[in-house]
A and B are shown apart, each in its own frame.
Chain A
Amino acid sequence: MDCREIQEQITAFVDRELPPEESARLSEHLHACSSCRAAEERERDVKRLVRSRCADLTLPHGFAERIRASLPGDDAARPVPAARPEPRTGRSSRIAGGGAPRAYSGWLAAAAIGFLAIAGTLVWSRSGVEPVLAEALVDEHARFAKGLDLGIRESDPKSAAAWLSEAAGSSVPVPDLRPKGARMVGAQMCRLLTQGHGAVVYDVEGHPVTLFIPPSGMIEPSADGTSSEGWRSVRVKGRNAVAWKDARGGICWAVSDLPHARMREIVTVAAADR
């Protein structure tokens, strides 16, 4: 056996990953070759060290309780879950946008134009995490509505799409809702429970409306597997939220104090424009 060739095999040998016959062959070689035997010992030393020093299982105080509290209950349909999300702090609830975008590219334009072809199917997953998400979204919306925490102030959907896409690491299509009298105010990347969404804030006749749009990179095709029809509307903490599935299969949300029907009408315009 060539000593150089078997270096990686030594790794697999130490990890007991070699098939028996190869393992036996290597073992034989190690027995005869002191240099490879030393390599084996080195490998074992590092493995032992990592194992012994990294095996601590201590959880931060209160962490398990916070995790439990953040899980929705078994009743997926209830609009306001008894289990509240983890208290949101500046640290954990949001991250800043990932830097200023440099250039606007054509594919983003295409993505933005393609926004909101309403699939007409599915919005609500069986698991019931969405009611919790809705609550978190309403909290985010409330902050944005006060003009807090926006990553950029921007009235151009294309620029906002480019900025969000850059921050998210994958395409975030932003609809142009000007035909419906919705003026864009700004945008932010926000991290909400299981999902990171691009948030875009509009002003509709004095009413703030926040759209939450998942980046393409986080959409899991057919992962939800539910089949309820059309829109989902909930009222949470005094605000209205609607959810729907966009052309990419991503679940989008809109939150405001406008009636559900009005919100649906506003966000549907982009689909009609296609």
Chain B
Amino acid sequence: MTNPSASPSRSERFEAEALVHLGPLYRTALRLTGNDADAQDLVQEAVLRAFRFFDSFEPGTNCRAWLFRILMNTFVNEYRKRVRGPHQVDLDETTMSTLESRADQAIVSLPATPEEVVFAGMLDGDLKEGLWALPAEFRAAVLLCDVEEFSYKEIAEMTQVPVGTVMSRIHRGRRALREFLLRRAKPVRALSAGA
């Protein structure tokens, strides 16, 4: 038996090492599930799972990455199956190539204007919609990379796909997102051009 006064208890360690990452976990869960209630459920489920397997976490390694791995695992293996049922149309090769070709067209057809300016006027709701329009795998890869700043290798481990697939998802995800946002922004751009 360990003496609780001599070393921090399991709960104390979990609080210090894991619960400090609730914010990032929640914001990612929110964009994966698309709503607050499901995001809370997903995070709670992942955190309880993490607590349960906290002994398998190696102290000194990246706890945040470990938690996100559990979050992604919970999302893919349990949440999606249960919330949307087994008949959800998942991302397949056709969807991927369609997305890619649409993104390719967008890049060819849309003029290379200072998009930062266009994007600056973008509403959060537009971005939210754009992200939501992406297949979950693409959305997750983009968020884990751009917002959470995980490396491709870490994302590959979390989502259990090769690094090359991670890169491809990020690449295609960003292009599809850009296409969506530029379409959404077109009227604004026309308006500002006319002004």
Is B truly associated with A?
yes
Interface residues as binary, A135-168 with B (CB distance below 8 Å gives 1, 0 otherwise) = 0000000000000000000000000000000111
Query: B23 in the interface, Cβ–Cβ < 8 Å?
Result: yes
**A208 to B168 CA separation, bound complex (whole angstroms):** 52
Give residues of chain B (8-49) contacting chain A, Cβ–Cβ below 8 Å.
Answer: 9-11, 14-15, 19, 22-24, 26-27, 31, 36-37, 40-41, 43-45, 47-49
**A72 to B49 CA separation, bound complex (whole angstroms):** 11
Interface residues as binary, A73-101 with B (CB distance below 8 Å gives 1, 0 otherwise) = 11000000000001000011001001100
Query: A170 in the interface, Cβ–Cβ < 8 Å?
Result: yes
Given A57-B23, A169-B81, verify A74-B11 contact (CB < 8 Å): yes
**A170 to B86 CA separation, bound complex (whole angstroms):** 8
What is the number of residues of chain B that contact chain A, defined by CB distance less than 8 Å? 63
- Which of A11, A12, A43, A46 has the largest count of B CB atoms less than 10 A from its CB? A46
Residues of A within 8 A of B78 (CB): 195-196, 218
- When C-beta atoms are compared, the residue in chain A nearest to B45 turns out to be A194
Residues of A within 8 A of B119 (CB): 45-46, 48-49
Which one of B11, B22, B44, B170 contacts A86 once the chains associate, using CB atoms below 8 Å? B44
> A42–B82 contact, CB under 8 A?
no
Residues of B within 8 A of A43 (CB): 174
Given A49-B127, A166-B86, A217-B77, verify A59-B23 contact (CB < 8 Å): yes
- Stretch in A62-70, A112-120, A240-248, A260-268 touching the partner: A62-70
> B19–A8 contact, CB under 8 A?
no
> A167–B115 contact, CB under 8 A?
no
> A194–B152 contact, CB under 8 A?
no
> B40–A48 contact, CB under 8 A?
no
Given A17-B151, A59-B26, A194-B45, verify A126-B55 contact (CB < 8 Å): yes
Query: A121 in the interface, Cβ–Cβ < 8 Å?
Result: no
> A169–B86 contact, CB under 8 A?
yes
- Stretch in B59-67, B91-99, B140-148 touching the partner: B140-148
Residues of A within 8 A of B40 (CB): 60, 63, 66, 92
Residues of B within 8 A of A274 (CB): none
Excluding A127-B52, A167-B86, 5 further A-B contacts by CB distance (< 8 Å) are: A11-B171, A98-B81, A169-B81, A217-B77, A223-B53
- Please give me the 7 A-B residue pairs with the lowest Cβ-Cβ distance, nearest first: A98-B85, A169-B81, A57-B23, A11-B171, A169-B86, A127-B52, A50-B146
Residues of A in contact with B (beta carbons under 8 Å apart): 7-8, 11-12, 15, 17, 38-39, 41-43, 45-51, 53-60, 63-64, 66-68, 70-74, 86, 91-92, 95, 98-99, 125-127, 129, 166-170, 189, 191, 193-196, 217-218, 223
